Chain A
Amino acid sequence: MGVEILMPALSPTMTEGKLAKWLKKEGDAVKAGDVIAEIETDKATMEVEAVDEGTLTRILVPEGTENVAVNAPIAELDGGGAPKAAPAPVAAPAPVAAAPATIPAAPRAVSAEKDWGPTKTMTVREALRDAMAAEMRRDADVFLIGEEVAQYQGAYKISQGLLDEFGPKRVMDMPITEHGFTGMAVGAAFTGLKPIVEFMTFNFSMQAIDQIINSAAKTLYMSGGQLGCPIVFRGANGAASRVAAQHSQCYASWYAHCPGLKVVAPWSAADAKGLLRAAIRDPNPVIFLENEILYGHSFECPTDEDFILPIGKAKVEREGTDVTILAFSIMVGMAMQAAEKLAEQGISAEVINLRSLRPLDIDTIVASVKKTNRVVTLEEGWPFAGIGAELAMQIIEHCFDDLDAPPVRVHGLDIPMPYAANLEKLALPRLEQVVDAARSVTYR
């Protein structure tokens, strides 16, 4: 009986990939450990090794095939292998993406935002790269440093192609030394250069947090306005998938706490592109919180070469009248899904994509609350002193009398992130919690 070789999951967030090349052909003998194929994931090209011995009897997916789903059979092996299906190198089943791969097509362009004209579909990853490339073309003082940003083309492929276009002086690989290279970048920014510092993930920014807060954020004030720090710190923030506590946390509240910083958290490709361009042009230090799971998600994004979004302005992603859901980053997608569900139940939810946490667009929030009189906040991060807590307090300060119910927070559980798939799922906000929260504040 033959053994099926399955499309392997080669990264925590991979759901599909391209079968780039077969290195064995039908009829070839295969030993365990032989490289049999090359697969392109959303991040890199990886080799697939055989785990069983035998003869490759049939290739089910020809090379060059794109979008092959994880765990789909790609070939059959005949031989001494155990008579059960064995996925190639990775034993774990493909993770279920924590967020929907398809974004609800619900009413989108409803805010009073400037109409930027024609759009095209692109991933958040492409939008981030395009933003950096556009700003680097525009201003020779802009450069990118970080771990694996140059020759490796980015640990998450965000900087793909930038080394080729801009050369090694402007796209520089750093040793694994966040404290040192962050301080170095801040020092360079004090002279007027405009570094983009990529943290492979924001978890590693804690190694450098003194330079970010004590040096980048405070020096303008401490120098009586003499020494600005035009710098962008960007990278993946929040939970990815099955990477446990040290690699899964949201830094929104940490950084948004600090005066002297701006903190931005995009959701869509348009957010990513427009806000990153604004962040690079901003004369202040900007914390730019991306999300690994969103990198591969596609959205419509304006094609206008001048497209840019203002930092500090929220976007009403969906208009509604009964309850306001406030979210940022990947949770905007969940809020949109919740709004769909709520609509089916006769509740009209307004979804606000905060985009910027500091400065916070309190005006847009207050206008919405004055209309709906009910608020649900949604974030992946911890509740204590979190963004939801701040939102609730500011709403109370600005429009307490407009509230018909106490605000409700939906958030990650107040625990380090567990590894086990079932526990991780429980630790993060779930769609039904958002729906329930909206029902509770509307007393339905």
Chain B
Amino acid sequence: MAAKAPPAKRRAKSAAEQPAMGRDALLQAYRDMLLIRRFEEKAGQLYGMGLIGGFCHLYIGQEAVVVGMQAALKPGDQVITSYRDHGHMLATGMEARGVMAELTGRIGGYSRGKGGSMHMFSREKGFYGGHGIVGAQVSLGAGLAFANMYRGNDHVAVAYFGEGASNQGQVYESLNLAALFKLPCIFVIENNKYGMGTSVDRASASRDLSQNGSPWGIPGEQVDGMNVVTVHEAAQRAVAHCRAGLGPYLLEMKTYRYRGHSMSDPAKYRTREEVQKMREQHDCLETARAMLLGQGVTEAELKKLDDEVKVIVQDSADFAQESPEPPESELWTDVLLPSPGSDGAFGQGVK
């Protein structure tokens, strides 16, 4: 299948016409995307060295989506996603050290080594996981939005999922619930064209996923997910809609992953040329870089960011190898929280 450029976004103007991101914001976005890119490259290396086990799904190629979205959120807003989650965590401000140490299964990881690549959380940063079951995070995300409604605050929840997950029944159940109760939930379909090895054309009869919420009256947009500025513009519209109490919003991000579905995926279902074309013509970092240079940012400034990011990533990799494995006592902690009034005398199940 020949690679197609992501279709033009439906509503957004081009970055040149509408500077939704000023110079500083774009520079920050560039830096955040770069951090994710370099972090994921390092994670891939550590995986190859046998330091990371199990499933490891890299976000390389899709960085503009989460960085553009996050820039439209404020503290207290919530984010939830699937198992391709390292980028989302870094975007919410979680420490690279804690994420990388979780990948290596160490006590210094966000989940004390008990969650791994697919299961990390930070209540402080509003990041609710990190979920390994395709589509489950969408209902959970509706619940985060439900909590905002229940508490009567103006926070929004962002539920990310892939175009593969978009076919799950509970996704449609969640769209209905969100529309029915006017939940402040932004559903973000990260359409990277392949659910593992199955292209979207072979998995979904819907040709325009942005309209998957239309039966319930949920406004939807297709967005060039390879351009952080267009992502950010769409994010601002969606956030404004939700904060105004108008109910959920759906964004289909046309994006692309450069690596396989997971580390063990040889990606034989697409051509090398297709990947190469996306990298050369639509890479989010190159696009942002060109815009920044056009706005007068110097190569030296960009190089400085590059160096900063490299230091953070190297530090996280060092930390992830130095941090010890969790002690055996961690086996039995965090299964249940202590109950009020419990004297600990009750049976605790089978040990």
Question: Quick one: which of A181, A220, A221, A262 contacts B177, CB cutoff 8 A?
Answer: A181
Whole-angstrom distance between the Cβ of A334 and the nearest chain B Cβ: 24
Q: Is the CB of A187 within 8 A of B139?
A: yes
Q: Is A259 in contact with chain B by the CB < 8 A criterion?
A: yes
Given contacts A180-B170, A187-B143, A358-B349, is CB(A284)–CB(B337) below 8 Å?
Answer: yes
List A contacts of B139 (CB < 8 A). 179-184, 186-187, 211
Q: Is the CB of A191 within 8 A of B336?
A: no
Q: Is B251 in contact with chain A by the CB < 8 A criterion?
A: no
List A contacts of B138 (CB < 8 A). 183
Question: Quick one: which of A190, A222, A312 contacts B342, CB cutoff 8 A?
Answer: A312
Q: For the complex, count residues of B whose C-beta is within 8 A of A.
A: 56
- The complex places the Cα of A363 from the Cα of B336 at a distance, in Å, of 20
Chain A CB within 10 A, most for which of B151, B176, B181, B347 = B347
Q: Is the CB of B121 within 8 A of A180?
A: no
Q: Is A37 in contact with chain B by the CB < 8 A criterion?
A: no
Selecting from A16-24, A89-97, A129-137, A225-233, the interface stretch reads: A225-233
Q: Is A310 in contact with chain B by the CB < 8 A criterion?
A: yes
Q: Is A84 in contact with chain B by the CB < 8 A criterion?
A: no
- The complex places the Cα of A283 from the Cα of B338 at a distance, in Å, of 7
Chain B, residues 113-136, CB within 8 Å of chain A (1/0): the string is 111000111110000111111001
Q: Is B317 in contact with chain A by the CB < 8 A criterion?
A: no
Q: Is the CB of B336 within 8 A of A284?
A: yes
Residue of B nearest to A285 (CB): B336
Q: Is the CB of A221 within 8 A of B143?
A: no
List B contacts of A180 (CB < 8 A). 139, 142, 170, 173-174, 176-177
Q: Is A210 in contact with chain B by the CB < 8 A criterion?
A: yes
Whole-angstrom distance between the Cβ of B186 and the nearest chain A Cβ: 14
Q: Is the CB of A191 within 8 A of B133?
A: no
Residue of A nearest to B174 (CB): A180
Q: For the complex, count residues of A whose C-beta is within 8 A of B.
A: 56
Q: Is B293 in contact with chain A by the CB < 8 A criterion?
A: no
Whole-angstrom distance between the Cβ of B185 and the nearest chain A Cβ: 10
Whole-angstrom distance between the Cβ of A147 and the nearest chain B Cβ: 13
Whole-angstrom distance between the Cβ of A87 and the nearest chain B Cβ: 41
Q: Is A313 in contact with chain B by the CB < 8 A criterion?
A: yes
List A contacts of B50 (CB < 8 A). none
Chain B CB within 10 A, most for which of A180, A283, A312 = A180
A-B contact pairs, 12 of them (CB 8 A): A177-B176, A180-B142, A181-B139, A181-B173, A183-B138, A184-B143, A187-B147, A190-B144, A211-B139, A221-B334, A358-B349, A359-B349
Binding site for B on A (CB under 8 A): 143, 169, 172, 174-175, 177, 179-193, 210-211, 214-215, 219-228, 259-260, 262, 278, 281-284, 308, 310-313, 356, 358-363, 394
Binding site for A on B (CB under 8 A): 78, 80, 109-115, 119-123, 128-133, 136, 138-144, 146-147, 150-151, 169-170, 173-174, 176-177, 180-181, 333-342, 345-350
